[in-house]
Each structure stands twice: as C-alpha cells, then as structure tokens.
Amino acid sequence: MKATRNFLSSILILSLFLSCQNNSNTVTLIIDDSAVRAVLKNPELALVKRDSIWQTHEGYRQMLAWHTRQSVPRDFGFYEFALNDMLSDNPIFTKDKNYLETINRVQEIHRDKGGIINEHLSSYLPGNKTFTAYAYFIAFVSSYAFSLEDKLVIDIGSPRWQNNPGFILNTVIHEIYHIGYELYTPDKWGFTPKTKDEFLQKTLAVIQNEGMATYIAYKALEKIPSDYKDPDYKLLENQESVDKAFKQTNQLIQDAETANIDSLNEKAWVIGTLKDRAFYVTGSFIAKTIEENHSKEFLVDLVKKGGRQYVNEYNKIANDKRQIEL
Ligand SMILES: [Zn+2]
C-alpha cells in the first residue's frame, strides 16, 4: 500500500515537473467556412441576398465592423464583380479557380496536422494557457486577412493566396501566434504615438510582435510545407534585403528625434508594415539570430519581457551593420 502510494506520488511529481518544464499552451483553432460555402455554392442568390449574408454570417459581420473601425467606407464592389464574373459565360477573374476545393484542402490539412500546429505554436509561447482562435473564411472583400482579438478573417477569393491552401494555413499560423503572444507580452502597440518615446516603445513592440509571428510561421514550413511562400520569407532569406530593413528601421528611429510625429507615424506605417515590411524583416531576423545564438527557451522567455528587452538582447550578439541603434 505504502509502495503504491509512493509510486503514485512519484508519478504526480513527475507530471508536475514535466508540465513545468514544457510549454503546454493549448490552442484550439476553429475554422468556420459556412459563409464562403453559402456564397460560392449559389452566387446568384448571394448577389440578391447580399445584405442579409453580410449581416448574418460572422465573417462578413466582422468585415463590416472592420470598415467601421478603419473608417473605410463599405465597399461591395469586389464582391459583386467576382460573383458576376462567376456567373458569366466567359469568366475572367474566377476562371479555373476552385475556391471550394481550396477551402476543403485547408480543412483537410488542419484535420491532419492540427496537433502539430498546436505543438509548434505552444513551443514558442511561454507558460501554459489555453485559448481558442476562430478563423472565418469569406470571399471577395476589401482586406485579404485581418484579425481582432481571438477572431481571424480570411478572404479565400483574394489573388494574394494564389489559391494555395498551404499558404493560407501558414498565414493562419502567423495570426494565431499574435493571439497567443498578446496573452504574455507586457507591451502595448494598438495606439497612435503622440511623442518620440511612445513612438520608440511602439516600434520595438511591433518589431517583436510581427517579428516573432513571422518567424514562427516561417519555421512552421519545416513541419507543414507549402509550395508557395509568403513574400516576407524571401526578404528574410536575402542578405541585402535584411541589411536594407535594418537601415530603414534605424532611419525611422533616428527621424524620431526631429520629425513631426504625424508624418513619422505615416512613414513608419508605410516602410515598417505596408510596403517595405522593414519591421517584419528586422523582427524575424532578430528572432532567428537569438534562437540560433542562445536557445529557443531564451527567445520564448523574452516574450514576457517585451520589445525593448528583445532588441537589447539581440544587440549584444548582432554585428555592427545589423544593430538596432537605440
Ligand atoms: Zn502579423
């Protein structure tokens, strides 16, 4: 009896030890494709019932909320154009694009590899929280993908995806990482900086947040390959574009000393995110360098310490050309 109790306590201690040793975040991804199926299966009805579809399916409802949040007027142009194209005798834009087949493949890969995706994401997050992410698939809207809190919206009809299920799922991994990251980071970034110090704080937070999400999705290709890669990965693999991204990021930080804050915010948006992707490239290069020079555990622990510490630790091991000059 005593021996059994001792044996059981050893098991208990061992499992507690293992759960302390391992990052065991539990990520549940729910893919809701009801909206895209409703629209693609009956384009004619989807045109007639446009308003009711946009108001009843959660993905389209999120899209309407996105328009309000971004102060971008509602635009049904792409929706109507693509559905009319599908219905025409001689389709151009939608010709040979089997969107339903693509969504089926996404679901299939998720069914087969969901466990691997969870394990991969979990291993790059500190702690052991449980969270659920919802991916809503819709078609023919103004933004190819966006996320808010625990919801992601993906436009399956966007030309960006090249109809490639692996690429779509890889983007979903990037977006889910953001959801997990937000549970642990001390940083804030969803605000418009009003001062030089706020600008710097936000920039370092974005570099860590986008850099980690990009790197973790990049690494996911080792486990869930895709024959079409995100253009950001090509920038990360190219030495010249990495040098350029560091130069651009340092220029923005230097400009913060003198530039007008509104024009600086605008410039940082275009160079860092929208066009040149400088924050994504520097941020993911930093993640890669830290993991290779320290360890995965060291990189993951920095999520709890925030963007400034992330960059400080990187600067200690970076070569002169690729320092972030603070
Ligand atoms: Zn992102």
* Span from the CA of 15 to the centroid of ligand 1 (angstroms): 35
* Span from the CA of 41 to the centroid of ligand 1 (angstroms): 31
* HEC string for the chain: CHHHHHHHHHHHHHHHHHHHHCCCCEEEEEEECHHHHHHHHCHHHHHHCHHHHHHHCHHHHHHHHHHHHCCCCCCCHHHHHHHHHHHCCCCCCCCCCCHHHHHHHHHHHHHHHHHHHHHHHHHCCCCCCEEEEEEEEECCCCCCEEEECCEEEEECCCHHHCCCHHHHHHHHHHHHHHHHHHCCCCCCCCCCCCCHHHHHHHHHHHHHHHHHHHHHHHHHCCCCCCCCCCHHHHHHHCHHHHHHHHHHHHHHHHHCCCCCHHHHHHHHHHHHHHCCCHHHHHHHHHHHHHHHHCCHHHHHHHHHCCHHHHHHHHHHHCCHHHCCCC
* Span from the CA of 89 to the centroid of ligand 1 (angstroms): 39
Token couple for 239: 């030495």
Question: Mean pLDDT score of the chain, rounded to an integer?
Answer: 91
* Span from the CA of 297 to the centroid of ligand 1 (angstroms): 22
* Span from the CA of 44 to the centroid of ligand 1 (angstroms): 35
- Is 245 exposed, middle or buried, given 0-12, 13-18 or 19+ CB atoms closer than 10 A? buried
Backbone angles phi, psi at 137, to 5 degrees: -100, 125
* Span from the CA of 70 to the centroid of ligand 1 (angstroms): 17
Q: What's the pLDDT tens digit per position in 213-256?
A: 999 999 999 999 888 889 999 999 999 999 999 999 999 999 99
Q: What's the pLDDT tens digit per position in 254-304?
A: 999 999 999 999 999 999 999 999 999 999 999 999 999 999 999 999 999
Rounded CA gap, 199 and 158, in Å? 32
* Span from the CA of 86 to the centroid of ligand 1 (angstroms): 31
* Span from the CA of 269 to the centroid of ligand 1 (angstroms): 13
Question: Does pLDDT of 1 surpass 80?
Answer: no
CA distances from 70 to 137, 159, 188, 313, 314 (A): 20, 22, 19, 35, 34
Question: Does pLDDT of 10 surpass 50?
Answer: no
* Span from the CA of 287 to the centroid of ligand 1 (angstroms): 14
What is the model's pTM? 0.87
* Span from the CA of 208 to the centroid of ligand 1 (angstroms): 10
pLDDT at site 23: 66
Q: What's the pLDDT tens digit per position in 154-189?
A: 999 999 998 999 999 999 999 999 999 999 999 987
pLDDT at site 191: 85
* Span from the CA of 254 to the centroid of ligand 1 (angstroms): 24
Angle at 179 between CA 162 and CA 225, to 5 degrees: 35
> Domain spans of the chain?
26-182, 196-322
Token couple for 254: 């230097």
Q: Mean per-residue pLDDT for 24-39?
A: 92
* Span from the CA of 46 to the centroid of ligand 1 (angstroms): 31
Q: How confident is the model at residue 22 (pLDDT cuts 50, 70, 90)?
A: low
pLDDT at site 81: 97
Of all residues in the chain, the percent with pLDDT exceeding 90 is: 81
